[in-house]
Structure 1
Amino acid sequence: MIDLHYWPTPNGKKVSILLEELGLPYTVAPVHIGRGDQFSDDFLKISPNNRMPAIVDHAPEGGGAPISVFESGAIMLYLAEKTGRFLPADVRGRYEVIQWVIWQMANQGPKFGERGHFSRVGPEAGDQSYAQRRFNDETHRLYGVLNNRLYDRPYIAGDDYTIADMIAYPWTVGWQAQGIDLEEFKYFKRWFDELSARPAVQRGLAVSAGPAEDPASLSPEEQARRRRLLYNQRARPAPAS
């Protein structure tokens, strides 16, 4: 059994999609990132960067104590290796996939995330036009990277559907909010439509972590507490010896 420490964001949905594709049994352990669950001492033991998702595998290959893994790219590689699926065994095919997994972690996820962040910043933070333009442009550029990659192959890493596709897909579900016209990227659109129709992808996207929270239900004090907790984070002090 695998414990999936999860909140329904694109990063969380990468892993739920893969688990659904693999058909592995798993339980969802909600990590309410708006409330600050990711800063709890118990969660930091398995995810020291205080970010979800993370997993705990209670039946690792070879037996022994449970294995915990944090960072979504590492989780994808771990589960693919554990099951021998969605990651080629030969060195050329394997690194074709791995380089795109790292591309997603280093480029698509961070740049799309910054685009979302700066689009939500209020006027109290000052003029954000440069940051908004920069990350709008980067988002558009990265859709172009995917489109150009997919013009002569069905999937990101070649002829086969792999974790390279699963890790990139959830960040593109919000293409409309990202200001993207899918008709501009026809090879990407063909890929996107195919993945969107996969039953396991649909199940993975639908994984929840409990009832949705109405932000209007929060008191002004709770809203202020969360802003202090979540924004402009600095280093946490090391535990006392």
Structure 2
Amino acid sequence: MSSDNNYTPPKVWTWNSENGGEWASINRPTAGARHEQELPKGEHPFQLYSLATPNGQKVTIMLEELLAMGHNNAEYDAHLIKIGDGDQFGSDFVDINPNSKIPALLDYSDDLDDKPQRVFESGAILLYLSEKFDALLPKDHSKRTEAMSWLFWQMGSAPYIGGGFGHFYKYAPFPIEYAIDRFTMEAKRQLDVLDKHLANNEFMAGDEYSIADIAIWPWYGNLVLGHAYDAVEFLDATSYKNVLRWAKQIESREAVQRGRIVNRTWGEPHEQLSERHSRADIDQKLKDN
């Protein structure tokens, strides 16, 4: 690896397995299963295989919101996928998500035991659950369209936050000024997009909480609240007053507090629940806080 400003890309790129910083041991330029690994299965209709990264939090928050609304058929088992150990490259996981990224969901409801419905990509999972339970997506056509626009905005924008800003600010093996400047500018631009929108809207789709908020909060809410990358001061995150108001409002929801700790294996002890198999698992963890 070189930090030389005179680096010139070769005519044909070749993979250097030692070049990749914290994730060098698992990142490769190829797809597919790397080993045989059977996934566990619990007793509930939904089997989630995940980790409490922002993308993972989206789905556990969604499921907890559905349960809070009285949709008891949304009960789920949340199994831990240890991405640092390469669980996402196991044969069973790749069968659910050929892209080897968390979260991945199997739906065994509606007599699907023989062939459960697989769902991968966090945005697709949110939309799938929303449509299945007819919940958390506005009925009004205009508001629904607004929610969908912001959902897809998040899916397209967040890689600049995680793989861009977060990676080069927090995880890269050494600081690269150009990369940090480039992605910090984009992170702040996106926060400004949100701040201007939320100046005139309580939630992302107007006055109605929806899957758009559930998708955006784990990335941008956690960022401005200081739960990601330790970058509040660096980004001057508190200057985005409307985003901060919205982030605190979402964080105060009981389902968000419940969902954000599922499949979490870092932080304070009361924030960690490696697996979830019943409501009581979260109840006990929050009681212990």
Q: TM-score range by the shorter chain?
A: 0.7 to 0.9
Tell me if structure 2 keeps the 8 A contact 1:60–1:67: no
Matching residue of 2:121: 71
Indicate the SS of the match to 2:223: coil
Q: CA deviation at 1:104?
A: 0.3
1:140 to 1:60, Cα distance in 2 relative to 1, 3 A? farther
> Who is 1:170 aligned against?
218
Offset at residue 135 of structure 1 (A): 0.7
Kindly state the Cα deviation for residue 65 of structure 1 after the two structures are TM-superposed: 3.5
1:99–1:51 distance in 2 versus 1, CA, 3 Å: same
Match of 1:187 in 2: 242
1:122 counterpart = 2:170 = no
Deviation digits for residues 38-96 of structure 1 (CA, Å, limit 9, x no counterpart): 11111111101110101111114999832110000000000000111111234322211
The reply to whether residue 22 of structure 1 matches residue 22 of structure 2 is: no
Cα distance in 2, alignment partners of residues 61 and 87 from structure 1: 25
Query: Normalised by the size of structure 2, how large is the TM-score?
Result: 0.68
Does the 8 A contact of 2:130 with 2:137 survive in 1? yes
In structure 1, distance between residues paired with 2:178 and 2:124:
33
**Conserved 8 A contact 1:2-1:56:** yes
In the alignment, structure 1 residue 110 sits paired with structure 2 residue 155:
no
Distance 1:83 1:171 in 2: 24
CA distance in 1, matches of 2:244, 2:168: 26
Higher relative contact order by CA 8 Å / sep ≥ 6: 1 or 2? 1
Q: CA RMSD in A?
A: 2.0
Whether the aligned pair in 2 keeps the contact of 1:112 and 1:135 (CA below 8 Å) is yes
Show the counterpart of 1:203: 258
Q: Distance in 2 between matches of 1:49 and 1:65?
A: 20
Aligned length: 208
Larger helix proportion of the pair:
1
Matched AA of 1:2: F
Q: 1:212 to 1:184 in 2, by over 3 A?
A: closer
- Name structure 2 gaps, 5 residues minimum: 1-44, 68-73, 268-289
Deviation at 1:8, TM superposition (A): 1.2
Q: Which runs of 5+ in 1 are unaligned?
A: 214-241
User: In the superposition, relative to structure 1, how do residues 61 and 165 fare at CA in structure 2: closer, same or farther (>3 Å)?
Assistant: farther
CA distance in 1, matches of 2:258, 2:133: 20
Give TM-score, length-normalised by structure 1: 0.81
Q: Distance in 2 between matches of 1:64 and 1:170?
A: 34
- Say if 2:47 and 2:105, in contact at 8 Å, map to a contact too: yes
| Mapping 1:136-175, distance limit 5 Å | 136-172=184-220, 173-175=222-224
Alpha-carbon separation, structure 2, partners of 1:159 and 1:62: 36
